[in-house]
Amino acid sequence: MIYPSLVYYQTIAEYRSHYKRVYCQKPIKTFDEIAVRFRNDIFDHCFFESTQRNQVKDVFSNTRAERMDWIKAALQDSAAKLYVGWDGKRKRYDKNRRVVLVVANYIVVIRMKGKKTALFVTAYVANSPSTLTKIKKSPLWEP
């Protein structure tokens, strides 16, 4: 699958507007017909990063925001690798979390709400070899 070009804007407000326009108006269907809903209030969680690695997302990430249109493409990519997500709070795999791994180590995470409905959680470039290793050791996701 060919992924869209990167998105470039001058301001965070422009990226936020793009996100709301593309993702928050109606669900995005995955290649396997799961309707993924996107909440307005998840923007900061998804497109900001922590400079101190302390869970406080304090800086806007151009790397994440520029790949905003890859979220939809990844969800609709039938060749994507699908894994069971990790629940960090409970320290175990969670079959309700689906991790999509696609080109250039791009990750999209959704949380299943029903058999054919889900919520978008986050998306990012896995630029750490240890992160990729952990994801690839996860169980494969099965419906």
Amino acid identity of residue 25, one-letter, is: Q
CA distance 4 to 1: 10
Which pLDDT score is estimated for 50?
85
Q: Model confidence at 72, in pLDDT bands (50, 70, 90)? A: very high
Which pLDDT score is estimated for 92?
94
Sign of CA dihedral 122, 128, 129, 133: negative
Q: Where are the alpha helices (DSSP H) in 1-143?
A: 12-23, 43-47, 62-66, 70-75, 129-137
Sign of CA dihedral 136, 47, 34, 111: positive
- Give the Å distances, CA to CA, from 19 to 3, 43, 72, 99, 136: 17, 8, 11, 20, 28
Averaged pLDDT for residues 77-88:
94
CA distance 116 to 52: 37
Q: Model confidence at 103, in pLDDT bands (50, 70, 90)? A: confident
Which pLDDT score is estimated for 115?
94
pLDDT digits (tens, 9 = 90+) for 40-65: 999 999 999 988 777 778 799 999 99
Name the residue with higher pLDDT: 128 or 120: 120
Averaged pLDDT for residues 58-82:
96
The share of the chain scoring above pLDDT 90, in percent, equals 83
Is residue 6 over pLDDT 80? yes
Which pLDDT score is estimated for 93?
95
Which pLDDT score is estimated for 88?
84
Mean pLDDT of all residues belonging to the chain: 94
- Are 55 and 49 in contact by the 8 Å Cβ rule? The answer is no
